[in-house]
Amino acid sequence: MNNFTFCSPTKFVFGRGVTDHVGEELAAAGHTRALIVYGQGSVVRTGTLARVIASLDAAGVSHVELGGVRPNPEIGLVREGVALARAEQVDVILPVGGGSAMDCAKAIAIGACYDGDPWDFWAKKATVSRCLPVAAVVTIPASGSEASNSCVISNDEVGLKCGCNSELIRPALAFLDPELTFTLPPYQTAAGVTDMIAHIMERFFSGETAVHATDNLACGLIRAAIDAAEVVMADPKNYDARAELMWIGTLAHNGIAGCGLGIPGKRDGDWTCHGLEHELSALDPAITHGAGLAVIFPAWMRHVWTSHPERFLTFGAEVFGIEPVDPDVDDLSDIDEEVTPERAVHDAVEATIDALQEFFISIGMPETLGELGVTEKDIDQLLAGLKVNRGESFGTFAALTLEDARTIYESAL
C-alpha cells in the first residue's frame, strides 16, 4: 500500500427535505451573504431554487444570483461571477445544481480571491492559495464535485477543457436531498451513473499493486451503482435507489476509493479516460461527460489491459462474477479448441469489458463516438488539445503516447 493523504472536510447534510435547511446551516457556519450559482433553468422549473431562497431568507442570509451555467461550464461566466462576487462582497458561493454549477462555483470562489485572470489556474500559470468557501446543493448525482478537490472548466476561445485541483476547493458544506433527483431525465441519470463508476475505475486501474481494503470499497460501490441504476431506470421515484446513487456519487470522488493506490506525488489514479473524454466535450460542449466516458472507457480498457491483466481479473470477478475457465474444474466439452491459461485470461478480461459496456448501453449510454457526432476528421483536433493538457506521454496504468490515443479514439468510432 502506497502512502496517501485522505482529506474529506465537507459536512454532508443528507436526506429528505434538507433543501429547506440550507439557510440555517449557512447561518450557523457564520455566513451572511451568498452568491447562488445555477444552470439553465431546471432548478427554477422544479421549484428547488425557490426553496433554497426561502430557506436563506428565513435564516437572514442575503443573496445574489448568477444563472446560466451551461454543461461543461465556460470561463466567460466564471469571470462574470468573480466580478459579481467582489461587487456584492459575498462570503460564500452556493451552487444549486449538478457538476457544472458546482465547478463554475468553485472557479468563482478561486477567482474572487485572485488579482489576475481566473483562467490562469487552468492554464497552470497560478496555484490556488485562497478561495471563498463553497456550499453545494446537489441536484444531479454524478460528478462528485460536492466532495472533490477538482474543478474542470472550458475555454471556448482556445478550444480547451482543463482541470484544477486543490484541497482548498473542497466544499465546506454539501446538501444531498435524493428527492431532488426524482425528475431527472433517464439520459442524465445514466450519464451520472457512468461518471461515478468512471471516477472509481480511474483509481482502481491506477497501475499500482492491489490494496484489498480499498479494492473492496471500490468494487462494492460499483456493484451498488449498477443495482441502483437498474431500479431507478424502471422506477424513477424509488427513494432508496436514488439515495444510493446520490451517496455513491459522493464516495466515488472524495478520494476514499483510491487510498493507497496513488503514485507518490501524483493523483490517486490513472485519469487517462477523463483526459480523453475532456477533449470530446471541448470539441463539442453538448457532449455529456458521462456519455463520452461510456464510450472511451471500454475502448481504453481493450487497448491497455495486457499491462496488468490481474487488475482486470479482480475487477471482473468482484463486479460481474466473471472468472477465467479452469480446464481441471469446468466442463469445456462444447469448446473446440484447447483452452490455454493465456486464452482463459484473455476471454475473461474481454468478457468483463463487454459486460461493462453492455451495462452502459442498457441504461441508454452510447456505444460509439459516432453516436456523439464525432468523426475521424475530428481526431487531430482532439489530439492537439490532449497534447496541451496531458503532454506527449501520459498514464500510470500503461504509459501511452498520442499515437496510442489516436488508436483508442479510432477504435471507438
Residue 41's pLDDT band, with cuts at 50, 70 and 90, is confident
Q: Give pLDDT tens digits for 171-200.
A: 999 999 999 999 999 999 999 999 999 999
**pLDDT (0 to 100) of residue 336:** 63
Fold classified for 186-411: Dehydroquinate synthase-like, alpha domain (1.20.1090)
Domain positions in the chain are 11-181, 186-411
11-181 against 186-411: fold identical: no
pTM of the model: 0.93
Cell numbers 477504435 correspond to 411
Q: Give pLDDT tens digits for 50-90.
A: 999 999 999 999 999 999 999 999 999 999 999 999 999 99
**pLDDT (0 to 100) of residue 328:** 67
Residue 125's pLDDT band, with cuts at 50, 70 and 90, is very high
SS (H, E, C) the chain: CCCCCCCCCCEEEECCCHHHHHHHHHHHCCCCEEEEEECCCHHHHCCHHHHHHHHHHHHCCEEEEECCCCCCCEHHHHHHHHHHHHHHCCCEEEEEECHHHHHHHHHHHHHCCCCCCHHHHCCCCCCCCCCCCEEEEECCCCCCCCCCCEEEEEECCCCEEEEEECHHHCCCEEEECHHHHCCCCHHHHHHHHHHHHHHHHHHHCCCCCCCHHHHHHHHHHHHHHHHHHHHHHHCCCCHHHHHHHHHHHHHCCCCHHHCCCCCCCCCCCCCHHHHHHHHHHHHCCCCCHHHHHHHHHHHHHHHHHHHCHHHHHHHHHHHHCCCCCCCCCCCCCCCCCCCCHHHHHHHHHHHHHHHHHHHHHHCCCCCCHHHHCCCHHHHHHHHHHHHHHHCCEECCCCCEEHHHHHHHHHHCC
Fold classified for 11-181: Rossmann fold (3.40.50)
